Each structure stands twice: as structure tokens, then as C-alpha cells.
Structure 1
């Protein structure tokens, strides 16, 4: 029988952990090399008190992968072997996004330190970035039927496992909570957590740096109520895209950009079904264009 689960972070309500549908709880432990979830121990203990299977994940910051792996394990070493380990590979706040060898180096280091292979959480459209981990790791894929899917009923949609032989887990909602299904039983879960079945010995590594608050990118809310985050980059279109005077599909048109157009941008916003980019144009004026479908995460070009 499959296992239904939730994954939580510092801002998650305890009610999510207590949800009777969830048989397992995966807790965010660390991010980069400067953040430890201050509620990690509480969330881990609460899940255990409720008799639920457990796991811990590290959110990739995109720094040195071996150093991040050491930081993760140093901060959870007392829990290794008691729950599955996972790498959260996402674009936001990840300086190594598109680096196809980063996850491989991270999981290798975790395995070196613990004897455990982490599973890898990734959106379906980015499976190619972690494909070289398919020989040793399980994959936990995120794909939503809707960004407002508030249900424990699995959506009727296909989900790829990419280079991996099969899906280990599938995150099928965001919205009010991250709902997941894992295609294994309790024994399979614990086999991922502790492959040897014996006492897990964590090898010593370099001392973990003292936790500090990560530097957050500047963000703001505009006059229309849309939140923007500062980010500098270049977006190259792979299709015709409208450049507008505002970040709305109803805003006046500046130009139609043909496929292959390069746009330098300084901020992004996720709203109204799209991810929008802001293009500085001089004289304190800006152009705006869509770069991604916010529901499926399908990009309309490439980033650098």
C-alpha cells in the first residue's frame, strides 16, 4: 500500500503534521550552509509522537555541494537512520540551478558520510538536471493539476520519472499544504532511511558553521498587490512573447519579441498564472513579459 505524506517547513502549522490523511512527515532541516529550521526538532518529535514515518530534507542553496551535504548531516546526525533523507532541488534561492552535476556531488557526499542515499525532490520539468543520480537515488517529483488543488484525491494526470526507473514519491498539491504519495510500504520507507538495517554511524566531517540568517533577495509589493523579488539575469525566448508596459496580459504592448530574443531583467513575480520578468528600459521605465507558466512551471525560454 502506498504511503501518503506531507512535507513541512518552519512556517507550517502543526495541524498539517496532525492531518489524519498523512502517514508520514518530511521536515525541512537545513538550507545552504547558513540556515537551520528552528522548528525542525519540534516537528520531528511531533510526527514521532503521532506514530508517523519521518524524513528530513535539505534545500539546495547552490554553494559548494560537499559543504552543504556536510552542513545537512552535521545538523541532523542524531536522526540519521530513523527517517528518509532528501535533497530539495528547486530554482528559487538556488545559485546552482541548471548545474547538472551539483545534486550528484551532494548525494555522493551524504552517502560517504552516512551510507544512505537521499531521494531527490524536483519539479517534473527539471528532471534532466538530476538525471545522473538515477542509478543510486529515488526521485520525488512535483507536478500539480492546479496551484489551488486542496484535496487528498490524486489528480488524473501522468507524471514522468525521467531517467529514474520509477517514481518513489509524487507531490501532487501545493496551496494550503504539500501533499505527497510515496509508492512504497513502511518497510520500503525504512529501507531508504537505513539500508543496512543496523546502527548508522555518521562519519566526522568539518565542523558546521554557526547558523546565520541567509541573505534574502530584496522583495516588494507593487501598487497592484503583486509581490516582486529582485533577481538579475538574461532570459532568451524560445517563442514569440509580448513585451508590455505592465505585468498584466491586458497591459499595453511595447513589442512582440521573436524567438531567440535576449531580455535582461532585474526582478520576477509569480501572479495571474504566469511568472513575469521586469526589464529595465531607462528613464525609470520598465517593460514586462511572461517567462513561465506558473501552474506547470513550463518555461518559455532559457535563463542565465
Structure 2
């Protein structure tokens, strides 16, 4: 013997049928009211497609590419007085350093850290692999000023691969400070607050390693988020990001660049860069 179905939609259907037989008006009235409410209400919001990337997944140039994009201009003409380099992160996985060496790449920067919790799982293969082939190598930190202070992030960086040694093959650590891929472009900081954060990072890095960190940035971000602050140019080498055939105007405080990221090439070989000097000068820069 089957139990009668629980009252609900079936019961309402039966009541509607009963109405047409003249025995109930109440359920039909409720059903029509509910139907009208359903038709007049807005559809439920759907989940956004895309959104911010996962924390830790940022890489050098992620904000530059999103805001400035590729210019479509040809790469700068090769000059004997400049030295080709590359920057890599976990997006490249295990890097084929021999191929890069054979193509003329002589220096490399590897992402070591981000914030105060992320470390690059491919760091050892990338950092040591370039060194073993004879490249001059360095490490960079992707700054997230909205998650922790500058000094704390400098400590995390030094403790996880961002140190420096005077061996003529290790470049000073680089601070990657650019558009926030996870939210507000300036990480929710005022221009003066951003300058203070950067200063805290640079001061702590210098005290821990004895070297002034390189600053990687884009001119338009620097203008927007620091107000065109010009106080770091005398001490900290500039790594300028601009995807074009010319480097364009530099951020306030610098009259020349040390390195230039001139294109973002994607997942396999890393982004291409130029050191503004010969290979001998590159080793001198590494030595400090």
C-alpha cells in the first residue's frame, strides 16, 4: 500500500483541479500570485566568468600587460652595448636554459616570492639552472602592499631566495611593484602610503643584504600610485616595463634605466629584457 504523497505541489494541483469543479478558489489564487511574483522578479545573479587570479600566481608584467598592453611595435634593435635577458616565474615551469643560452640570453631573474606566504615551486630549477649555464641570475619579489608591510615582505623575500652574494654572478634582488592583479590598482594605498611602503621594503632589503634593490615598475603606474615620487632614483636601479620599440618616458627620479622589459612573450620562454650595458658591465653590476 502506497502512502499518499505529502501535501505540496501535488496537493496544490489537486486543489486547482477541484477549483474547476467549483470546490476551491483559495489554492488557485495563491498559485497565480506566486506565478506573477516569479515572473516579475529578476533572475538570480550568475557567478562571474573569470575574475581575479589566484593569489601567488602573479608574475612580472601581469599588470603592465593588462593596463598598457602590447604596442604592436617591433622589438628594439639589438645593440652590442646591451645584453639580452629573461624573467621567469612558475608559469614557465622547468625552463630550457640551454635553448635560451644558445639564443643569446645572458642573464635571468626568477620570481622567488609574493607577499609573505608564497614561494615559487620552480624556483630551484629556474634560479640554479640559469646559474649553472653561466648566466648572471637574480631573484624578484612580487609586491602586494595590501597584505603585509614592506619590511615584512622584504624579510620573506630574503629568507626564500632573494638574498645576494658577491660572486659576480648574482644580481641584487628586484622589487616588482605594478598594478594589482587582484583588486585596486594601487592596493588601496594613498600615494604617500605607497611611497612609505616601498621605502620600508627597500630599507629592510638594504639592511639585510648590503645592496640596493632594483625597482621594476611602469611609468604610468608610478605616476598614478606614488604621485610621481622622485626620491629613489639616486639609489635604486630602475627596471622599466614598456612593451614597445622605445623605452619612452621614465618614472620621476630616474634619468636612465638599468634594465628594460620590452615584451611579454607568454608561457614558455619568459619575458624578454635588455640590460643597458655590455656583458662585462653586467658582471660589474652584479658585483656591486
**Quick check: TM above 0.5?**
yes
Kindly indicate which of the two structures has a greater share of residues assigned to helix. 2
User: Where does residue 95 of structure 1 map in the other structure?
Assistant: 187
Does the CA contact (< 8 Å) of 1:31 and 1:60 recur in 2? yes
Per the normalisation by structure 1, the TM-score is: 0.56
User: Where does residue 2 of structure 1 map in the other structure?
Assistant: 82
Kindly indicate which of the two structures has a greater share of residues assigned to strand. 1
User: Where does residue 18 of structure 1 map in the other structure?
Assistant: 99
Measure the CA separation in 1 of the matches of 2:151 and 2:254.
Answer: 23
Assess, with a 3 A threshold, how the Cα gap between structure 1 residues 103 and 191 changes in structure 2: closer, same or farther.
Answer: farther
Measure the CA separation in 2 of the matches of 1:74 and 1:96.
Answer: 27
Measure the CA separation in 1 of the matches of 2:234 and 2:130.
Answer: 31
* Residue of structure 1 aligned with 2:240, choices 135, 141, 146: 141
* Residue of structure 2 aligned with 1:179, choices 259, 272, 281: 272
Displacement, 1:4? 1.0
Measure the CA separation in 2 of the matches of 1:109 and 1:140.
Answer: 20
The 5-angstrom pairing of residues 77-156 of structure 1 reads 80-81=165-166, 82-92=170-180, 93=182, 95=187, 98=191, 99-128=194-223, 129=226, 131-145=230-244, 155-156=245-246
Assess, with a 3 A threshold, how the Cα gap between structure 1 residues 185 and 157 changes in structure 2: closer, same or farther.
Answer: closer
What is the DSSP-based 3-state SS (H/G/I as helix, E as strand, rest coil) of the residue aligned with 1:111?
Answer: helix
User: Where does residue 152 of structure 2 map in the other structure?
Assistant: 67
In structure 1, the gaps of 5 or more residues are 146-154, 196-304
Larger deviation, residues 29-38 vs 131-140: 131-140
> For this pair of structures, how many residues does the alignment match?
186
Displacement, 1:109? 0.6
Per the normalisation by structure 2, the TM-score is: 0.59
Displacement, 1:125? 0.8
Residues 160-206 of structure 1 show CA distances to partners (whole Å, capped at 9, x for unaligned) of: 243113111111101333111111234443444342xxxxxxxxxxx
Measure the CA separation in 1 of the matches of 2:98 and 2:201.
Answer: 28
Does the CA contact (< 8 Å) of 1:56 and 1:86 recur in 2? yes
User: Where does residue 27 of structure 1 map in the other structure?
Assistant: 110
Using CA pairs under 8 Å that are at least 6 residues apart, name the structure with larger relative contact order, 1 or 2.
2
Does the CA contact (< 8 Å) of 1:85 and 1:193 recur in 2? no
CA RMSD, Structure 1 to Structure 2 (Å): 2.3
Measure the CA separation in 2 of the matches of 1:115 and 1:187.
Answer: 22
* Residue of structure 2 aligned with 1:169, choices 235, 259, 262: 259
